[in-house]
Structure 1
Amino acid sequence: MSFKDNLQASMDAAGIGPTDLGSALGISSQAVSQWLSGKTHPTGKRLKEIAEVLGTSWEALHADAPSADKALPLRTTHAPASHVAIPEYDVVTSAGPGALPELCSPEDGLRPAEYWKIPRSYISAFSDVPDKLAIIRVAGDSMEPEYQAGDRVLIDTSHRAPSPPGIYVLWDGYGLVLKRLELVPGMEEPRRVRIMSINPAYSAYELTLDEIAINGRVVGKWAWK
């Protein structure tokens, strides 16, 4: 079942309609209706709030979340003291159009598919918080030529504010994407963020901080030629 089907089933079981759910979450019933139609998808934080209101779990709502008996095999995290074990998550950050995963963040229930054992001396050049690093694969062409499909990006998941401007992995309401972010000047709340591609064929767009969920800032990449 898709997320929208799981959401509808959970709402029916709880006897809650779009208006009631929207009121409980502090959003409009139209926003809930868009989830139910599959036009948009809530962020990971919002998913947890929905599950709490409906008396269910994140796993029950999320179509792609692995159940306890179908979880991805967890490879060993052991690494010598000279190395860091960095998890790679089996999701794709889209740098262009196409099928997008519904997961917002590796912290939202997704288990690592693999661990990369990387020398600590090498990682220290990218981050001083190695336990907050993660690796995700890139797809699409909107960030070409800097980021190609198949590249792996190293993200610092402790850096979740779009400042300073840079390349981030984020959930933009439609999928997990790799984009350049910068805050739009101004004092209005919530702050707006400009979301940009490197490939000039793709237009920039703006969303508020409330409408996105930033997974982390890109601090490195591996490219295959």
Structure 2
Amino acid sequence: MKPPAEPRAALRALAAAQGVSLLALSAMIGRNGNYLQQWVTRGSPRRLAEADRRRLADFFGVAETVLGGEAAPRSVWRVPRLDVAAAAGAGRVNDEAALLGFDAVPVELARALGLSEGQAAVIRVAGDSMAPGLCDGDRLLVDQTARTPDAKGGVYAVRIDGLLLVKRVRRGARRLLVTSDNPGALPVGRGEVEVVGRAVWQMRVPV
């Protein structure tokens, strides 16, 4: 039986389902016999004491949030991992960014990087035109809200002529300037540049 969302109604339903009285539950948590009855019918006290709520939640095998506890703050965000290879080389066509799964990004890290939840994605680097800083197979955490490079620039995921690339991008006098870090890389195409987002964190599998 799924208990109602309201905590007092939830306790009443849980007690009925288990065939145990509020009187007996009050005694179990070391309170006077009317304690839980008053809470259920009169709302007094307004909230169960933390220790009482924990013992009741353990007894019924439910989360403390069912009985009015606050949800524990999340330690990670689930960031979508997309099936696109952002080429740091000759480039690859990006037909559709298919969702492969999710990567767990620590909330503290995400906030330190200035990310907003739901506005980031993880993509994979292909090629070596951004070597030695970026290598083939590196994964990049991309802030999809950061799409306006300044004169100083940074590493961005961009589309040029239908190709998804990872390049260094800065704003010039008349247009965006897109370059590779590897001096031996092929020239970057001169098509229209669509900025997908800024790479704010690099993830690499140890070798």
**TM-score (norm. length: structure 2):** 0.59
CA deviation vs aligned residue, 1:146-167 (integer Å, no higher than 9, x gap): 0000100010000111225010
Match of 1:93 among 75, 86, 90: 86
Paired residues, what number? 133
Secondary structure of 1:124 counterpart: helix
Question: Which residue of the partner structure matches residue 176 of structure 2?
Answer: 193
How far is the alpha carbon of 1:206 from its aligned partner?
7.2
The answer to whether the 8 Å contact 1:160/1:215 transfers is yes
Query: Is residue 112 of structure 2 the alignment partner of residue 125 of structure 1?
Result: yes
Give 5+ residue unaligned stretches, structure 1.
Answer: 1-79, 104-108, 186-190
- For 2:118 and 2:183, how far apart are their aligned partners in 1? 35
Secondary structure of 2:93 counterpart: coil
- For 1:217 and 1:154, how far apart are their aligned partners in 2? 8
Query: Which residues of 2 match residues 4-43 of structure 1 at below 5 A?
Result: none
Match of 2:76 among 83, 96, 119: 83
Question: Which residue of the partner structure matches residue 146 of structure 1?
Answer: 133
Q: What is the aligned-residue identity percentage?
A: 31
The answer to whether the 8 Å contact 1:168/1:180 transfers is yes
Query: Is residue 206 of structure 2 the alignment partner of residue 219 of structure 1?
Result: no
Q: Residue type of the partner of 1:202? A: A
Q: Residue type of the partner of 1:97? A: A
How far is the alpha carbon of 1:101 from its aligned partner?
2.3
- Based on CA coordinates, which of the two structures has the bigger radius of gyration? 2
The answer to whether the 8 Å contact 2:115/2:143 transfers is no
- For 2:182 and 2:141, how far apart are their aligned partners in 1? 20
Secondary structure of 1:131 counterpart: coil
Secondary structure of 1:180 counterpart: strand
Q: Residue type of the partner of 2:193? A: I
The answer to whether the 8 Å contact 1:192/1:206 transfers is no
Task: State the 4+ residue runs in structure 1 displaced beyond 4 angstroms.
Answer: 203-208
CA deviation vs aligned residue, 1:93-113 (integer Å, no higher than 9, x gap): 010126x1233xxxxx63421
Match of 1:102 among 94, 107, 117: 94
CA deviation vs aligned residue, 1:17-44 (integer Å, no higher than 9, x gap): xxxxxxxxxxxxxxxxxxxxxxxxxxxx
Q: 1:146 to 1:132 in 2, by over 3 A?
A: same
Q: 1:205 to 1:111 in 2, by over 3 A?
A: closer
- For 1:193 and 1:206, how far apart are their aligned partners in 2? 12
CA deviation vs aligned residue, 1:117-167 (integer Å, no higher than 9, x gap): 222112222223132110000010100000000100010000111225010
Q: Residue type of the partner of 2:164? A: L
* C-alpha RMSD of the superposition: 2.0
Secondary structure of 1:91 counterpart: strand
